[in-house]
Amino acid sequence: MKFRIDASDLTAGKLREIITNLKNERIKVLVGVFVSPQQKYISYGIHGYSSNWLLSNYPEILKNGKVNFDEYIIINNEKTQYSYYLAKKISRVVNDFNFDGVYILTEPDGIKTVNDVESILGLLINVRREISRDKILIVDRVDPFLSIDLLRIILNHTDYVVLHTSPWIDGMLYGARANRTVETYRQCIRHIKSELKNNEWHKLLFSIYTLDMARGWLTPALAVQLEVDSYSSLLDNGYAIYYVSNYLPYRLKLRQQVESFS
């Protein structure tokens, strides 16, 4: 099971303490990296974030509001590929705080097309190169209907890939995908498993969306448990939960024990 902790209000010392305590409980701790330059929405106030440094100093690397990681920026009078620059920064944070790896949080729409894969591939390659091999690299929100060839490219540079597998969220937030069902995703996962080698499909995780207090939605408990039961029989290496907090009004039952990450 994977879950997320928001560290935005923590001091560096407090964050190190939390990381140490979690690792003492044999829980692997990853640093989350948002690839979108900003995500803002208004719901009982203004929520989200904005990378003002990037937007103000390097607007030229943005294309249709998304970061082109293969573009070059000028840092200290030197031309540097942005994916390489960012990977160096990520690696420094991983080593400084003794994280167990990196969790790449993609655009809200996820990775659905050739262009989406091309736009993030440079970052995945450079992060994998900069962090040590014993560190974990995860990328999320990959559409399982992506071609096998493109999925395999992503798998080649990561340790785990989180597939987007939530029909309830599809219908509520993304009307264009509302015709997908649990069975639709199960059939797609079966096809993926038939095409991939064992060492490839064992890297696949599925995703479960539970609630978002800021935006005001909650997935019904029966729908969540149906998804967990349906997908865990096909992908047995774990899943990512979006989002966990002390407001979550139900428990999730696991069919088997899986390694924990945060």
Average pLDDT (83-95) is 97
Average pLDDT (250-254) is 68
DSSP codes, 78-130: EEEEHHHHHHHHHHHHHHHHT-SEEEEE--TT-B-SHHHHHHHHHHHHHHHHH
Give the whole-angstrom CA distance, residue 113 versus residue 97. 34
- Report which DSSP code applies to 164: P
Q: What is the pLDDT of residues 168-225, one digit of tens each?
A: 877 777 665 567 899 999 999 999 999 999 999 999 999 998 887 667 778 888 889 8
Q: Is the pLDDT of residue 255 over 70?
A: no
Residues contacting residue 26 through CB under 8 Å, at least 6 positions apart? 260
Q: Is the pLDDT of residue 85 over 90?
A: yes
Q: Is the pLDDT of residue 258 over 50?
A: no
Q: What is the pLDDT of residues 2-27, one digit of tens each?
A: 555 666 677 889 999 999 999 999 99
Q: What is the pLDDT of residues 138-180, one digit of tens each?
A: 999 999 999 999 999 999 999 999 999 988 877 777 665 567 8
Domain boundaries of the chain, sorted by first residue: 12-46+84-242
CATH topology of domain 12-46+84-242: TIM Barrel (3.20.20)
Tokens of 164: 């987007």
Q: What is the pLDDT of residue 174?
A: 66
Q: What is the pLDDT of residues 40-75, one digit of tens each?
A: 666 666 666 678 888 888 888 888 888 999 999 998
Q: What is the pLDDT of residues 91-123, one digit of tens each?
A: 999 999 999 999 999 988 899 999 999 999 999
**The model's pTM:** 0.88
Tokens of 4: 């997320």
